[in-house]
Amino acid sequence: ILLLFLVSSVYSQDSLKWKFKFSGFTNSKTIKFPSGGKVNNFSQNGTWEDSLGNYGKGFCYGIIESRENKNSFFQFYCELSDQDADKIFTKGSRKSEDTQIGVGKQKIIDGTGKWKKLIGTTCIYGVKYVEEVLFTSQKCKYLGN
């Protein structure tokens, strides 16, 4: 999923600095435990654009586990399609006290076409929710071949 990032990193001259923004809507279903914890299953649909001029649509599926007096744990997977029908597949996670805003990591785990060369790239993302609308931003460091 996808955040308001204030991330600064030092990159080598050979590295690709890639910025990515995703915005969309989220839907969820929640199971509440009598002890106060809960599990939330969510899906997100939206659009994206990056610093290389690419754009497209995508969706994510994930789960949030919350326990009383502990950070919530988020884990999700996304499929993103670009303007050329090439795809990126990611896995992300974060721990946060606040479910409406936070910072986490997302890794590109698969891809087609031009995205194959980014498999293994790890990104830092930030996310902010306004009700069911989400806004994310990420910065990635990829050391090119």
Q: Which of 2-11, 25-34, 58-67 comes out lowest in average pLDDT? A: 2-11
pLDDT reported for residue 142: 61
Q: How far apart are the first and last CA of the chain?
A: 27
Residue 27 sits at φ, ψ, to 5 deg, of: -125, 150
Residue 116 sits at φ, ψ, to 5 deg, of: -55, -35
The secondary structure of residue 3, as a DSSP letter, is B
| pLDDT, tens only, 88-141 | 999 999 998 888 899 999 999 999 999 999 999 999 999 999 999 999 999 988
Confidence band, pLDDT 50/70/90 cuts, at residue 58: very high
- Residue 91 and residue 107 in contact, taking contact as beta carbons nearer than 8 Å: yes
> Which uninterrupted H or E stretch holds 18?
strand 15-32
Confidence band, pLDDT 50/70/90 cuts, at residue 87: very high
